[in-house]
Amino acid sequence: MERDSRIFVAGHRGLAGSAICRRLAAAGYSNLILRDRWQLDLREARAVADFFAAEQPEYVFLAAAKVGGILANSSRPAEFIHDNLAIQTNTIEAARRHGVKKFLFLGSSCIYPKFAPQPIREDSLLSGPLEPTNEWYAVAKIAGIKMAQAYRAQYGFRAISLMPTNLYGPQDNFDLATSHVLPALIRKFHAAKMAGDPEVVIWGTGSPRREFLHVDDLADAALHLMLHYDDPEIINVGTGEDITIRELAELVASIVGFQGGLRFDPSKPDGTPRKLLDVTRLHSLGWRARIPLRQGIAETYQWFQSHALESVVK
Ligand SMILES: NC(=O)c1ccc[n+]([C@@H]2O[C@H](COP(=O)([O-])OP(=O)(O)OC[C@H]3O[C@@H](n4cnc5c(N)ncnc54)[C@H](OP(=O)(O)O)[C@@H]3O)[C@@H](O)[C@H]2O)c1
């Protein structure tokens, strides 16, 4: 990939896509091709084909997808399966037809089987039943991985698929109805600090263990793998370390400066006891996560205060 290569970052306004753009720009890649959703709806096959014909991108980072939590998945299953299948099918097919040199697809740690042995190795994919709450999304994403592998096998199309763990960072979603645990904790503790609340209630027992990767680390890994990885097998992208939800809550509270107490509500579901990726293959390729969790959360809290606060805190 040359510094002036034509690089299409799909989903450039999202959490992952915006970080990939920042990383590419910082490394001197100056020819990024970006389209807002209203300029190019990736669900529309004709529009995607016309875009590739006109712009002739040489490299593609596909970070556009329909993503969301349990509520969104369960209330709009048809959109989750349709939109993701359409976005990835249209983009992979147009990229192949128009001679894209390399294509990066983003899977997710949440599409591994619900009871995959921990830490989760890449060969766990499709080895057991999925988590039912997001099966629509997972089935679509698995189809994307298989499509990338099939296109490589039949057409020699150089597509790679990454399996990132839970991401956090600037541009995260802080809407409590749809957000993931880490941004939700930042927002809850901030609101409690401002209101002078004596305590914050947190769902579950606090004992499940989870892994968190700063999105700038993901972007760095994506660039590294785009340059140095060319294999049909999926590759996990994580830190290799996990933390209990209780430890995470205490960390966020101390960063936000919330002085009150934490109360766990064990009547609410905990989910899987542990979710950690095995990153042996990633480490063997010479890449490791660099951003410590405390530093990453502190930066994310700063971003929340300067960008997200007005729109999310009523
Ligand atoms: N977030 C995580 O913790 C996590 C973990 C593992 C893997 N991933 C993967 O990373 C990828 C990106 O996730 P994210 O968290 O960055 O999501 P995000 O913040 O919601 O960003 C998704 C992006 O996709 C765009 N998009 C959605 N539908 C589109 C359409 N029909 N046409 C064009 N663009 C469309 C969105 O555009 P608008 O801005 O216009 O809505 C947005 O820019 C996904 O494949 C996801 O599976 C995420």
> Hey, what are 271's tokens?
């989910």
Regarding whether 160 and 261 lie in a shared domain, the answer is no
Regarding whether 198 and 77 lie in a shared domain, the answer is no
Q: What is the pLDDT of residue 310?
A: 63
Ligand 1 pocket list (CB less than 6 A): 11, 13-17, 37, 41-43, 63-67, 83, 87, 106, 108, 164, 166-167, 180
In-domain check, residue 284: no
- Centroid of ligand 1 to alpha carbon of 65 (angstroms): 4
Regarding whether 254 and 156 lie in a shared domain, the answer is no
Helix (H), strand (E) at residue 189: helix 181-195
Residue 16 CA: nearest ligand 1 atom is 16
Residue 37 CA: nearest ligand 1 atom is 33
Q: What is the pLDDT of residue 104?
A: 98
- Residue 48's Cβ-count burial label (10 Å; 0-12, 13-18, 19+) is buried
CATH code for position 299: 3.90.25.10
Q: What is the pLDDT of residue 196?
A: 95
Regarding whether 121 and 105 lie in a shared domain, the answer is yes
Helix, strand, coil abundance in the chain, percent, nearest 5: 45, 15, 40
- Centroid of ligand 1 to alpha carbon of 84 (angstroms): 10
Q: Range of 79's domain?
A: 7-168+212-237
β-sheet bridge partners, residue 61: 9, 104
Closest residue by CA, ligand 1 atom 36:
11
What three-state secondary structure class fits 104?
Answer: strand
- Centroid of ligand 1 to alpha carbon of 174 (angstroms): 15
Cα angle 79-80-81, degrees, rounded to a multiple of 5:
95
Q: What is the pLDDT of residue 156?
A: 98
Length of the chain: 314
Residue 137 CA: nearest ligand 1 atom is 47
Residues ≥6 apart with Cβ < 8 Å to 203: 264, 265, 268, 269
Choose one of 8, 9, 12, 15 to mutate for the ligand 1 pocket test, by most ligand atoms within 8 angstroms of C-beta.
Answer: 15
Quote the CA–CA distance of 217 and 287 in Å, as a whole number.
10
What sign does the dihedral 49-13-289-122 (CA atoms) show?
A: negative
Q: What are the per-10-residue average pLDDT scores of the chain (314 residues)?
A: 97 97 98 97 98 98 90 87 98 98 97 95 97 92 98 98 97 86 95 96 93 98 98 98 97 97 90 92 97 98 85 50
Q: What is the pLDDT of residue 142?
A: 98
In-domain check, residue 216: yes
- Tens-place pLDDT, residues 110-142: 999 999 999 999 999 999 999 888 899 999 999
- Tens-place pLDDT, residues 239-254: 999 999 999 999 999 9
pTM metric for this prediction = 0.96
Could you give the residue numbers annotated as active site?
137
On whether the CB atoms of residues 182 and 28 are closer than 8 A, the answer is: no
Regarding whether 195 and 92 lie in a shared domain, the answer is no
Please state whether the peptide bond connecting residue 119 to the residue before it is cis, i.e. omega within 30 degrees of 0.
Answer: yes
65: nearest Cα among 102, 101, 37, 94: 37
Regarding whether 155 and 219 lie in a shared domain, the answer is yes
> Hey, what are 275's tokens?
């979710």
In-domain check, residue 173: no
On whether the CB atoms of residues 15 and 173 are closer than 8 A, the answer is: yes
Regarding whether 123 and 21 lie in a shared domain, the answer is yes
DSSP states of 152-184: HHHH---EEEEEE-EEESTT----TTT--HHHH
Regarding whether 25 and 99 lie in a shared domain, the answer is yes
Quote the CA–CA distance of 111 and 131 in Å, as a whole number.
8
Quote the CA–CA distance of 47 and 302 in Å, as a whole number.
38
- Centroid of ligand 1 to alpha carbon of 16 (angstroms): 7
Regarding whether 191 and 125 lie in a shared domain, the answer is no
Residue 168 CA: nearest ligand 1 atom is 3
- Centroid of ligand 1 to alpha carbon of 282 (angstroms): 23
Choose one of 67, 80, 168, 218 to mutate for the ligand 1 pocket test, by most ligand atoms within 8 angstroms of C-beta.
Answer: 67
Regarding whether 192 and 52 lie in a shared domain, the answer is no
Q: How many domains does the chain have?
A: 2
Quote the CA–CA distance of 141 and 107 in Å, as a whole number.
6
25: nearest Cα among 43, 12, 44: 12
Choose one of 37, 83, 111 to mutate for the ligand 1 pocket test, by most ligand atoms within 8 angstroms of C-beta.
Answer: 37
What are the C-alpha distances in Å from 9 to residues 21, 36, 52, 62, 216? 7, 11, 12, 6, 15
